[in-house]
């Protein structure tokens, strides 16, 4: 990507602002005093400013982002916090060394990117941009600063019944949305559920996700973390995607409500047997409607297992009010909406984004020449961040409420689960 702004173009813009009758010797000076737009300043600095160039070389800056400290890591990646230099928004930067990516990892990464590009939901971590340097790939992601569900439970114990409902309803909403567009997550676990600072829950890490052409398509790769794996993954040669995500949600729900995992064993062989047999015990204090939901989900035969729709209609979730309707599909093609917004609902938001883009120094020409569907474009990053800001201002990112809930009961201090974080695996079933 070229950040160069030619001086002739700058001058051209400045001349167009000058009254021709004033042409005189002072004009050259007057021109130089016209302040640069934030975009011009940034792109100039990236080309000419020694400090900025040095930061780009040593990785303290990546594209339009200023990089800060490390906040996480995965098998092939490290995650750092970063800020957008123009919008000032915090983002999570997932960094991957290209040299360490074998063919398999490259395939998974391209699936991760393409899944995330199709997803726009309040409970799914957004992908804003992809930045590539000669040695690295960076996924610029929505920042969720409240830590993950696994650490939350390990540090603070199980959740109350009401809090569990609020969290689970959001995960369910995210999964229903992705299954509707044929995306299967395949690595749902508490470590991959993040909290935003407002308490909203975000499903993250689409590194094992896949998009099927039909929800009844059989898959044959073992993905995910063994304690969350459905029995058919150990037992059968192929499996259907949605029931595998549903099973993992059952394990997650059990973990949230009890602070313990339903299937535990000292060895992988014993864990496998436990899961295939579906042997787990529900503590008697667990509320009946929650027990019923878990029993409906943790059915060893995928065909008998609850479908997402049955989960949404279960008694346990009856008092949950979802504040949002699913994000309209047209917001997935933002360029179109920005240039000729059709939907009444979107119009206002699009106007806001257009205004912010102009303030930063993006022109209509920029809008015409850049496709915000192309993730590898710094304009896309700015555009998606501003669009998300506008959506958040409209309350799209807020947790659901539970009807009749007086106040959140005090969190129970059970610290029953002190297990290690679960690592995910990937292998072809044989």
Please identify every residue annotated as catalytic. 187
- Residue 79 within binding range of ligand ADE, rule CB under 6 A: yes
Q: Which of residues 238-257 bind ligand ADE (CB under 6 A)?
A: none
> Residue 24 has what DSSP assignment?
S
User: Among the residues of 262-307, which ranges form H helices?
Assistant: 268-277, 288-297
User: Does an H or E element contain 77, and which?
Assistant: strand 77-84
How do 183-184 and 210-211 pair as beta strands?
antiparallel
How many CB atoms are closer than 10 A to CB 310? 13
CA–CA gap between residue 347 and residue 120 (Å, rounded):
18
* CB-closest chain residue to ligand ADE: 92
Query: Would you count residue 119 as binding ligand ADE (CB under 6 A)?
Result: no
Q: How many C-beta atoms surround the C-beta of residue 90 within 10 A? A: 15
Which span sits near ligand ADE by CB under 6 A: 54-62, 71-79, 175-183, 412-420? 71-79
Residues 131, 144, 171, 248: which binds ligand ADE (CB under 6 A)?
144
Distance of closest approach, residue 194 Cβ to ligand ADE, in angstroms: 6
| CB 294 within 8 Å of CB 282 | yes
Question: Binding to ligand ADE by residue 72, rule CB under 6 A?
Answer: yes
54 annotated as a binding-site residue = no
What x/- string results for residues 185 through 214 when contact with ligand ADE is judged by CB under 6 A? ---------x---------x----------
The residue range among 15-23, 42-50, 138-146, 417-425 that interacts with ligand ADE, by the rule CB under 6 A, is 138-146
Of residues 167-186, those binding ligand ADE (CB under 6 A):
none
CA distance 8 to 368: 21
- Does 125 help bind ligand ADE (rule: CB under 6 A)? yes
Segment 345 to 404, residues that bind ligand ADE, using CB under 6 A: none
Which three-class secondary structure state does DSSP give residue 300?
coil
Alpha-carbon separation of residue 86 from 59, 98, 292 (angstroms): 18, 27, 50
Positive or negative, the CA dihedral 136, 139, 143, 149 is negative
- The distance of closest approach from Cβ of residue 147 to ligand ADE in the complex, given in angstroms and rounded to an integer, is 8
**Residues annotated in a binding site for ATP:** 94
Residues lying near ligand ADE in the complex (CB under 6 A) are found at 71-72, 79, 92, 125, 141-144, 194, 204
């Amino acid at each position: 990507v070229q950040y160069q702004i030619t001086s002739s173009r700058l001058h051209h813009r400045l001349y167009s602002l000058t009254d021709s009758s004033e042409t005189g010797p002072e004009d050259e000076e007057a021109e130089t005093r016209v302040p640069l737009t934030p975009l011009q300043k940034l792109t100039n600095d990236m080309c000419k400013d020694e400090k900025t160039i040095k930061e780009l070389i040593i990785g303290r800056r990546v594209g339009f982002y200023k990089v800060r400290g490390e906040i996480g890591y995965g098998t092939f990646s490290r995650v750092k916090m970063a800020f957008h230099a123009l919008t000032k928004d915090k983002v999570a930067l997932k960094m991957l060394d290209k040299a360490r990516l074998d063919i398999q990892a490259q395939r998974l990464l391209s699936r991760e990117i393409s899944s995330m590009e199709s997803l726009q939901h309040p409970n799914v971590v957004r992908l804003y941009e992809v930045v590539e340097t000669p040695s690295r790939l960076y996924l610029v992601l929505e920042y969720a600063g409240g830590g993950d569900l696994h650490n939350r439970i390990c540090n603070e114990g199980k959740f109350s019944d009401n809090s569990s409902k609020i969290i689970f309803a959001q995960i369910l909403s995210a999964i229903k949305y992705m299954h509707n567009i044929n995306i299967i997550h395949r690595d749902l676990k508490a470590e991959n559920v993040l909290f935003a600072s407002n308490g909203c829950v975000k499903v993250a890490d689409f590194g094992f996700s896949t998009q099927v052409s039909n929800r009844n398509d059989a898959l044959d790769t073992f993905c995910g973390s063994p304690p969350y794996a459905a029995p058919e993954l150990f037992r059968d040669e192929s499996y259907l995607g949605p029931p595998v995500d549903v099973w993992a949600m059952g394990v997650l729900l059990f973990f949230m409500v009890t602070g313990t995992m339903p299937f535990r064993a000292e060895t992988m062989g014993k864990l496998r047997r436990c899961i295939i047999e579906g042997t787990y015990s529900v503590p008697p204090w667990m509320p009946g409607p929650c027990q019923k939901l878990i029993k409906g989900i943790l059915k060893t035969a995928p065909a008998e297992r609850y479908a997402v729709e049955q989960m949404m209609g279960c008694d346990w979730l009856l008092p949950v009010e979802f504040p949002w309707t699913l994000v309209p599909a047209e917001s997935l093609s933002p360029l179109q909406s920005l240039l000729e917004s059709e939907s009444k609902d979107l119009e206002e938001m699009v106007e806001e984004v257009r205004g912010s883009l102009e303030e930063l120094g993006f022109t209509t020409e920029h809008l015409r020449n850049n496709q915000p569907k192309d993730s590898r474009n710094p304009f896309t990053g700015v555009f998606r961040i501003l669009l998300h800001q506008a959506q958040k201002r409209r309350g799209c990112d807020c947790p659901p409420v539970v009807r009749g809930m007086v106040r959140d009961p005090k969190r129970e201090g059970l610290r029953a689960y002190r297990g290690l974080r679960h690592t995910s695996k990937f292998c072809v079933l044989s």
